[in-house]
Amino acid sequence: MSYQYILYDKDERVAKITLNRPKYRNALSRELQEELEAAFNVAKEDDDVRVIVLAGNGPAFCAGHDLGTPEHNADLERRPILEPEVRGNFEYAYDTVLMMPLRLRDIPKPTIASVHGWCIYGGWKLASAMDIIVAADDARFIPGPPQWINLAWEVGPRRAKALLLDDHALSAQEAFDVGIVYKVFSRDQLEAETMAMAKRIAERPPFMLHMMKMAVNQAQDAQGYRSAAMAAIAYRALFHSSGEQPHLKEGERRQLPAVKRAIEAGPDKPKQE
């Protein structure tokens, strides 16, 4: 299968799926997300693949959801989001922000997010859908509405509220300290160390890997993860319909405080929210 916005490679028993819109810091257009899920399904159905690695091409893992690149706008013109606006935006977000990460989470093979540079909002959404997150020492995580769904389950409710309310970028070390990231590597060693880990995992029996993953996911679901996630997406929709987040005009870019500070700090500048 050919792809426009991702790269798909196999190395022994490891499939590597790479977001490939480096010009836009791998901003998540609808088309990219559709290709991404299709690629995960290819890896899922390939009996030779035991582990899946998700990475990003270029200077950042992912700078979030696409808010208006020319390619994304053209796709929205071809396939408009349903009207009325609130309903259409909710249904789009329900699939891309909630259900797609849940589908990736439930893939019966171990998954690893290999994060470098910016990991913002929707980018963090993708990383959190993976079983393990490893990061380069230059990684920076900025939480936003997609993290209303998962952050309390990753770091606990009190710390989740602090990270969401105190709007700032977390360094790789901070993300490690609070339990989001499993290991931190130097930038030049990230790919090699991630693949070495994936190949170690791939040595184990595939059904054992599936059952271990299912056991942990089921424990989380028994504690109410899915019902809480569905409530969070409704709160997100309510926020988006409140008027506090204005519509962007042509050429404008949404910059909430943490993203704006990140851009000002440089040297790399995330292109999307």
Closest CA to 270 of 58, 20, 73: 58
pLDDT tens series, the chain, 273 aa: 789 999 999 999 999 999 999 999 999 999 999 999 999 999 999 999 999 999 999 999 999 999 889 999 999 899 988 777 788 888 989 999 999 999 999 999 999 999 999 999 999 999 999 999 999 999 999 999 999 999 999 999 999 999 999 988 999 999 999 999 999 999 999 999 999 999 999 999 999 999 999 999 999 999 999 999 999 999 988 888 887 765 555 555 556 677 777 666 665 554 444
Amino acid, res. 73:
N
Domains and CATH numbers, the chain: 6-189+206-265 (3.90.226.10)
